[in-house]
Amino acid sequence: MSTTEYLWAQWGVLGSIVAILVLTVLELPPPIGFETRAQSDVSPLWLALFATILISEIAAMLLIFRRPIWGARLAVIAGCLNIVQILADQLHLMQPEAAPAGYAVLELVVGAFSISVIYFACRVLRVAPAE
């Protein structure tokens, strides 16, 4: 992989995470987002998972250019945890109520961006210089 491709992979990680964070804001309850289900039913375990995902995404964004190996590892973790959270929500493990159609579409798009984060991060890990 050339230096240009490596740089594009880093930018791919950053762009995908930014897109996920924007979509995460849209997944919040009104008036900001589209979530219509009551948040009182959400387990503290899933809230901790959500916080872990946010922290790993933000840390990956901050590290992807300075410490690419660590940034890419955190990006892979964040992408995988996002997919776990989406599956848990669709299987009603997070809340007993089914997700509305619009919210499910948002989750589908987040899942697609999560896969792209994992892809770009693996590209970075493949050729990252030793730290």
What pTM did the predictor assign? Answer: 0.92
Q: How far apart are CA 100 and CA 96, in angstroms?
A: 12
Would the pLDDT of 6 be above 70? yes
Q: What is the pLDDT of residue 34?
A: 81
Query: CA separation (Å) from 77 to 59, 92, 99, 117?
Result: 11, 22, 24, 10
The answer to whether 82 touches 114, Cβ cutoff 8 Å, is yes
Question: What is the 8-class DSSP label of residue 31?
Answer: T
Q: What is the pLDDT of residue 112?
A: 98
Q: How many secondary structure helices (H) and strands (E) does the chain include?
A: 4, 0
Mean pLDDT value across the chain: 92
The answer to whether 103 touches 74, Cβ cutoff 8 Å, is no
Q: What is the pLDDT of residue 131?
A: 63
pLDDT one-digit tens code per residue, 69-117? 999 999 999 999 999 999 999 998 888 888 888 889 999 999 999 999 9
Q: What is the pLDDT of residue 29?
A: 85
Q: Where are the domains of the chain?
A: 3-29+41-127
Q: What is the pLDDT of residue 12?
A: 97
